[in-house]
Amino acid sequence: MSAKTFIAACCGHFHCAPEVFAERVLWHCHYRRALMLGRLLWRLNRHLYDMDLELIRLVAGCESATELGAEVSDFRYHNQNHGLWRKFLYARLSGQRLVNLAGKLLG
């Protein structure tokens, strides 16, 4: 029996199809203080979240919270947050919330 992947755990938890998994995780793990701004920006320019969606898809196959945390850390190192929206107004995914979600779902 193989271990449960992050995408399978999230789809089961959020009762969603794998096609909408990345968007569900994005909004669940978005910085709360910028959630309303983030929703507005999503409607105006979805490309602002391309880096966040790339990270979510990258960790979809992880089978443990430790593995996912290492991937997030590596991704953060190579992809720094730049610009007003992402760096100062927090219109982005919270890596810590993503790791916490994995810890909750993958154990």
pLDDT tens, residue by residue, 8-31: 999 999 999 999 999 999 999 999
Confidence of residue 2 (pLDDT cuts 50, 70, 90): low
Distance of CA 70 to the CA centre of its chain: 14
Point out which residues pair with 93 in neighbouring strands.
30
Percentage of the chain exceeding pLDDT 90: 84
d(C-alpha 87, C-alpha 23), whole Å: 20
Confidence of residue 80 (pLDDT cuts 50, 70, 90): confident
Q: What pLDDT is attached to residue 1?
A: 40
Q: Is the pLDDT of residue 81 over 90?
A: no
Q: Which two tokens stand for residue 89?
A: 């107004």
Q: Whole-prediction pTM value?
A: 0.91
Start-to-end Cα distance in the chain: 17
